[in-house]
Amino acid sequence: MNSRQLLILDLDETLISASESKPDAECDFTVYGYDVKQRPFVSEFLKNIEGHFDIAIWSSGTTDYVQAILEKILPVGIIPVFVWCRDRCTARKNFETDEIVYLKDLKKVEKRGYSLSKVLIVEDNRANVQRYYGNAIYVAPFHGDHSDIELQKLLPFLIDISQAEDFRSLEKRNWRAHNEKNSAHS
């Protein structure tokens, strides 16, 4: 069993925002007909968190799309332990919304040798990790706002909890308040 902590990062609306290309759209780059904006601080976040966690990417996007995005946003030297795409998700129909939800079943990560007690997944969509709320840290969806500071707030929280025995036992719902508490005690 791998004893390292694993941080799984979602892509769309977590690290980037992608929308169908429009002429003269303000974006960082274009991939497969999508204008893509990187969430502010994404490069710094990845560089700073790497020393504390193994990093993985798990997106419900297609393999070609995900690979093209990662070629643009991953800093030099950051190599995820795995990159999983839609084909590693479990498709389920949400009968209330009549939409397909792509579940990220963390049992698949366990099969790679990681204890679920040492796995965190950063996700904007609760439905994607509904069976593993104890492993999830939910971030506000990113839709291209240049003043977004979500990753800057998340980084110190993740570093502070990186040595926890079992991530599932930690309170993560109010992670944003963690930084405010720590700066009040400084």
- Give Cβ neighbours of residue 181 (< 8 Å, ≥ 6 apart): none
d(Cα 18, Cα 68) in Å, to the nearest integer? 12
Per DSSP bridges, beta strands 6-9 and 90-94 are: unpaired
Paired residues of 36 in beta bridges: 18, 29
d(Cα 170, Cα 99) in Å, to the nearest integer? 32
More confident residue, 147 or 184: 147
d(Cα 167, Cα 144) in Å, to the nearest integer? 30
Between the alpha carbon of residue 40 and those of residues 5, 157, 172, the distances in Å are 25, 17, 22
pLDDT at 21: 85
**Domain boundaries, given as residue ranges, for the chain:** 6-185
* pLDDT tens, residue by residue, 144-165: 999 999 999 999 999 999 999 9
> What's the CATH fold of domain 6-185?
Rossmann fold (3.40.50)
Q: How many other CB atoms are there within 10 angstroms of residue 157's CB atom? A: 18
More confident residue, 92 or 10: 10
* pLDDT tens, residue by residue, 109-149: 999 999 999 999 999 999 899 889 999 999 999 999 999 99
- Average pLDDT, stretch 4-26? 92
- Average pLDDT, stretch 27-54? 96
Does the pLDDT value for residue 184 go beyond 60?
no
d(Cα 137, Cα 168) in Å, to the nearest integer? 10
User: DSSP letter at 145?
Assistant: -
- Average pLDDT, stretch 75-81? 96
pLDDT at 183: 53
pLDDT at 97: 86
Its pTM stands at 0.93
- Give Cβ neighbours of residue 90 (< 8 Å, ≥ 6 apart): 102, 103, 104, 105
For 68, the token pair is: 């093209």
pLDDT at 127: 87
- Radius of gyration of the chain measured on its C-alpha atoms: 16
* pLDDT tens, residue by residue, 79-98: 999 999 999 999 998 888 88
